[in-house]
Chains A and B, each alone.
Chain A
Amino acid sequence: MISVENLHKSFGTKKAPVHAVAGVSFTALDGQITGLLGPNGAGKTTTMRMLYTLMAPDQGRVLVDGFDAVSQATEVRTRLGVLPDARGLYKRLTARENIEYFARLQGIPEALIAKRISELSARIDMAEILDRRTEGFSNGQRVKTALARTLVHDPKNVILDEPTNGLDVMSTRSLRKVMLGLKSEGRCVLFSSHIMQEVAALCDTIVVIAKGRVVASGTAESLRELGGSNNLEDAFVKIIGSDEGLMA
């Protein structure tokens, strides 16, 4: 379970600070998929970076399974599987070596690593690329490898930052299947997106973020009601107050 309480984060100079996140609170429950929906530049990535301990919030706190993301960062990191916006792989290593590296850094016993990788490879359907160097991988193959690396330590909580970005239809579908599988195993899945249909189709709870704030949250159904429209896209535009950033 991930709970976020009143997060704030500013960047830039003291004279002209950019308030990227200005009071975000929500809870992502185990056995559910929670979607962070918002236009580009709404503060989704910054929020997530504070969730997965890359940045410290100026104010507020993040609890992962009850552990504080700042003071107990190491505990939090073992409980989190993160697919960040940056998905760089080591191109001179094979996909398997990339995954092994992260498995070792997570402290998984050597004997267990091979077993985990073969399980994941079957699940994500990446057996044929496993022993190839990642240089020249397609976008889909790269995401598969990064996803395996995210899940290799069997994390209770999974955070995915815009996971379907740049993927074709087939890859997107299989990624959704993986996310639903993670949910059915009782994990807490949190992912961000700017695509409403995707969020509506997958999520149990949707948190809408705009300009660094939570402007609405609930099920897809309740958001449609809130926006006063049967069409989710119209509802979304109404909720965030503009259609800026939606088309990107």
Chain B
Amino acid sequence: MKMRWLTVFLKEVKENMRDRRTMMTTFLVSPLLGPVLFAVLIGVVLNLEKDRAEKLLELPVVDAQYAPNFVAYLAQHGVKVMPAPSNAEAAIKSRDFDIVMRIGAKFPEQWRSGHSAEVELLYDPSRQTAMRVISRTQVLIESYSRQMGSLRLLARGVNPETIRPIELRQTDLSTPESRSSQVLSMLPYLLFLTLFMGGMSMAIDATAGERERQSLEPLLINPLARGEIMFGKVSASAAFALTSLALTLLLYLVGFKMVPLEQFGMKLALNAQGCLFLFLLLVPLALVASAAQTALAAFSKSFREAQSQVSLLMLIPALPSMMLAINPIKPLLWFYAVPFFGHNFLIERVVRGEPIELIPALIATGSATLLALVLLFVASRMYRRETLAVSA
């Protein structure tokens, strides 16, 4: 018996090749999305690195005239003291400044009488980008305060160490490489996204679209099992997703060669061999994506409903990637048995140029294949429902 699902596959491919919107998503939007997002992310990280290395700390000070020595100390330690805005609170709120320092009016008097002199810092700690500036300022103020305190104690004949039972020394061991890992952790999801987007419009069109255009009913009357029809459609959509993936991998390959990442100590060692491995690794996930999309499209009542539901599906593989971006953990062997989650670690390894371990790769491939089979089964159940072809 001839494999008739292949007939369905070929027809879907031919028909969708003639649809400009599907072609745009598969061959342009979906392959480009990842690399562009990634380029932006890398750009941000590189900028942060540059900031860290070069940038002076800009600190607007209100009433700097009350504490000339203090301000001079700050200036010596890499702070560019700025004239203060007229309304400090408003300036923070409007994001003109990340931080403003205000010297209290009683500062000179308190200072001379040996009391704690008041200095106020205004900032918004919910602003991620401000955190480094804030902590740098705090450290500087603390160290000036400690230095002055020590001098005062010495003047009174007391050893300054009396009030400092512990001397804390901190060593920053972060490297540009480790700092780039947050960016790297996005890459797996971007690849998953390409898989989901590449075949999405076809998966919706081939099931919900056909029903809407009333061609599904005549199709189902042909002498082949509904499961075969479904499989033809799923494999066509997976083929488009994989085309999208191949293109996007090619773009990464070329892109990483062009950006001088080594200069910043970032290690992104993706070569042609690694790309091929990634492609093969993701083949079963393409089937997972297409089968899930087709099942959902068959389940939904209308084309529009299918569109919104299938788009939501894209968020699911984002969960492990997001979790790992926030909380990077070392992989345990069972992680690889969870599709997408386990693939995260494998993809990161490949991108870092680390050797691929065979067992985890096999476990991940096995579990993804199993999930694909389960979803194909679900999709075929959806296709066997009597109400499938009968719209409204």
Partner-B contacts on A (CB < 8 A): 49, 52-56, 73-75, 77-78, 80, 82, 84-93, 97, 101-102, 104-107, 146, 149
Chain A residues with CB under 8 A of B215: 86, 88-90
Closest to A79 in B: B223
B386–A92 touching, CB < 8 Å? no
B2–A55 touching, CB < 8 Å? no
Chain B residues with CB under 8 A of A74: 223-225
Quick check: is B52 within 8 A (CB to CB) of the other chain?
no
Query: How many whole Å from A145's CB to the nearest CB in chain B?
Result: 11
What are 18 A-B interface contacts by the 8 Å CB criterion? Answer: A54-B386, A56-B386, A74-B225, A84-B218, A86-B215, A86-B217, A86-B218, A87-B214, A88-B214, A88-B215, A88-B216, A88-B217, A88-B218, A91-B213, A93-B14, A105-B219, A107-B4, A107-B223
Q: How far is the CA of A82 from the CA of B217 in the complex (A)?
A: 10
Chain A residues with CB under 8 A of B19: 92
* Range, interface on chain B: 20 to 34
B4–A105 touching, CB < 8 Å? yes
Closest to A83 in B: B218
B7–A105 touching, CB < 8 Å? yes
A88–B389 touching, CB < 8 Å? no
Query: How many whole Å from B301's CB to the nearest CB in chain A?
Result: 15
A-B pairs with lowest CB-CB distance, top 5: A88-B215, A88-B214, A86-B214, A77-B223, A105-B222
Q: How far is the CA of A54 from the CA of B219 in the complex (A)?
A: 10
Instruction: Give 1 or 0 for each of B1-26: 1 = CB within 8 Å of chain A CB.
Output: 01010011001001100110000000
Closest to B224 in A: A105
Quick check: is B221 within 8 A (CB to CB) of the other chain?
yes
Q: How far is the CA of A53 from the CA of B389 in the complex (A)?
A: 12
Query: How many whole Å from A20's CB to the nearest CB in chain B?
Result: 12
Chain B residues with CB under 8 A of A52: 221
B223–A105 touching, CB < 8 Å? yes
Query: How many whole Å from B344's CB to the nearest CB in chain A?
Result: 38
- Extra 4 A-B pairs, beta carbons < 8 Å, given A78-B223, A105-B222: A54-B220, A75-B223, A84-B218, A105-B4
Q: How far is the CA of A185 from the CA of B106 in the complex (A)?
A: 112
A80–B221 touching, CB < 8 Å? yes
**Which of B11, B15, B18, B213 has most chain A Cβ within 10 Å?**
B11
Chain A residues with CB under 8 A of B210: 88
Query: How many whole Å from A36's CB to the nearest CB in chain B?
Result: 17
Closest to B7 in A: A104
Chain B residues with CB under 8 A of A106: 222-223
Known contacts A89-B215, A91-B213, A93-B14: does B221 contact A104 (CB below 8 Å)? no
Closest to B215 in A: A88
Q: How far is the CA of A89 from the CA of B217 in the complex (A)?
A: 11
* One of B214, B218, B224 near A149 (C-beta < 8 A): B218
B218–A146 touching, CB < 8 Å? yes
Closest to A52 in B: B221
Chain B residues with CB under 8 A of A91: 213
Closest to B232 in A: A105
**Which of B210, B220, B390 has most chain A Cβ within 10 Å?**
B390
Q: How far is the CA of A101 from the CA of B214 in the complex (A)?
A: 16
Q: How far is the CA of A146 from the CA of B218 in the complex (A)?
A: 9
Chain B residues with CB under 8 A of A85: 217
A86–B4 touching, CB < 8 Å? no
**Which of A105, A106, A149 has most chain B Cβ within 10 Å?**
A105
* One of B7, B15, B222, B386 near A77 (C-beta < 8 A): B222
Chain A residues with CB under 8 A of B7: 101, 104-105
Chain B residues with CB under 8 A of A86: 214-218, 389
Known contacts A54-B386, A56-B386, A105-B4: does B221 contact A90 (CB below 8 Å)? no
Chain B residues with CB under 8 A of A75: 223
B14–A97 touching, CB < 8 Å? yes
Chain B residues with CB under 8 A of A97: 11, 14
A104–B4 touching, CB < 8 Å? yes
B221–A92 touching, CB < 8 Å? no
**Which of A56, A80, A91, A149 has most chain B Cβ within 10 Å?**
A91
Query: How many whole Å from B3's CB to the nearest CB in chain A?
Result: 11
Chain B residues with CB under 8 A of A105: 4, 7-8, 219, 222-224
Query: How many whole Å from B182's CB to the nearest CB in chain A?
Result: 44
Q: How far is the CA of A191 from the CA of B14 in the complex (A)?
A: 33
**CB within 8 Å of A: which B213-243 residues:** 213-225
Q: How far is the CA of A146 from the CA of B217 in the complex (A)?
A: 12
